[in-house]
Amino acid sequence: MLSKLASLYGNHKEAVVAVKDGEIRYFNGTAARLIPNIDKVKPEDIFPNRLVNQAEESCSEEVDIEGFHTIVTVKSLDDYRIYSIVSPEFEETDNMANLLMSIGIELKNSLSVFKMASSLLLPYVENIGNSRLARYSSMLYHCYYNMLRLTGNISDLADILRDDVPMNFTRFDIAKTSRDLIGSVRHFVRDCGVNIVFESSDNSIMICADRYKLEKMLLNLISNSLANTREGGTVAVRLTCAGDRLVITVTDNGDGIAHDILPNAWNKFNTPRQLADTPTGVGLGLTLVNNIARQHGGSAVLHSKPGSGTSVTVSIPLERPEAEVRTTAADDEIDSMQQILTELSGVASFEKYTQKYMD
């Protein structure tokens, strides 16, 4: 078996480590250069326990190894666990961040004019009572929110590249917030043929977090799942408390992700088309989800099996240092329906974008 592993991974540019019975049985040259004294350490000295002990067939997660930011993908081969370690291929520079920020600002300015003109036309369309014009109006609004979503993702990515992400930590009931949000989502996409369920280990779970970003993260995960789950399938959102941490899990029984493209799931610039969060999207959804988790001092883990579905688990602390917490209520500052219209524009049909939801 060792000779087979050497023939498979010996010339790979990424680091590869093979583990059996809790011991490292094989590593290639790249892994030896990345991890000093790798022949004398145990798997848990290199990888987080959640990757060493997890029983899923395959998963992928961002991990810091020897001071390097890496993406670790785990899969099974016979009775071995194979750990592939890849470093991001693109340098995150201020020039790229500034370019993205400039693009985002220009797009937002144009979209503001687009929205204003559409809003002024809408009363005339309603008064005329022409079904074709009403249909065109819905198409315009749908296009607006789709572009708004892309623009927001571009701006968020610019903040991430500059490592300058503004956070607004407040205390709120994440169980109630999620229950209400998913209830609205369920109503909004009720004719898509996919069942959306919500479960919480406690009726009320208080957390200190950025509510806007957590809602954005949830909606991104739900949007991804809806886009890849066939009619009759299920998307499940579950909240549980594990000690001093909140665990959010979004699971679907959709098409899943192929093993060979799983390592790129978190990549900011090289997300394969199969991982794009909409059929015409650019695949920034999982990148943003992962970074929102990291901004909260947490982590995100992706499990997927082709043909069986995908599960993303986010773990974040329930509390923040007192100095970071605002005293104003987050609930008064966020329009969740606007977030739904924006984040689900890639999976909801344009017929949804009527005055009923605009109001």
The string of pLDDT tens digits covering residues 315-343 is 999 998 876 777 555 455 678 888 898 89
Could you give all domains of the chain from N- to C-terminal order, each with its CATH number? Answer: 2-86 (3.30.450.20), 170-330 (3.30.565.10)
Q: Cα(217)–Cα(210) distance, rounded to whole angstroms?
A: 11
Contacts of 284 (CB under 8 A, 6+ apart): 153, 154, 156, 157, 268, 271, 277
Question: What does each C-alpha distance from 285 to 46, 94, 168, 219 come to in angstroms?
Answer: 28, 22, 21, 10
Whole-Å CA distances, 94 to 68, 238, 281, 292: 20, 37, 24, 20
Please state the φ and ψ torsions of residue 295, each to the nearest 5 degrees.
Answer: -65, -25
pLDDT of 182 higher than 80: yes
Average pLDDT over residues 68-88: 86
Q: Quick: pLDDT tens for 20-58.
A: 999 999 999 888 888 888 988 999 999 988 888 876 778
Q: Rounded distance, CA 301 to CA 248, Å?
A: 11
CA proximity to 12, closest of 26, 22, 23, 1: 26
Q: Tell me the pLDDT band of 267, cut-offs 50, 70 and 90.
A: low
